[in-house]
Amino acid sequence: SDEHERIKSLSIVAIIIFPLGVPLLTTGLLLKCRVTLRSGGTNALVEATRFIHHDYERDYYAWEALEIVRKCFFIGMITVILPAGSAGQLFSALIVAVTWLLTILLCQP
């Protein structure tokens, strides 16, 4: 029906916007706060975005944006784009997971 097609189109748009929009919005907010965050200061925006950056060391204030990208990759790219159960799916996930583990071990955010 027409209503089903309209809702289907809207859902496709949302599925495309979410994995791009959330990391971009998070990064934009954190970049706007970066000078204040790096200096150890505070203002209204830093306090409003505290839930995003408070778990990380000062130099790694934007780490949560990378976490969101990683999660979107595993959920979206691995499960939707690559065929389920394929060697490519397993290999891609393994490479990203090991790279992420090494990055965390080196950076210790």
Q: What is the mean pLDDT of the chain?
A: 89
For residues 78-106, average pLDDT: 84
| Nearest-angstrom CA–CA distance, 71 and 76 | 8
Residue 32: band (very low, low, confident or very high) from pLDDT cuts 50, 70, 90: very high
Residue 75: band (very low, low, confident or very high) from pLDDT cuts 50, 70, 90: confident
Q: Is the pLDDT of residue 83 over 80?
A: no
Q: What pLDDT was estimated at residue 27?
A: 93
Residue 68 to residues 44, 45, 46, 63, 84, Cα–Cα distance (Å): 23, 20, 19, 9, 22
Q: What pLDDT was estimated at residue 99?
A: 94
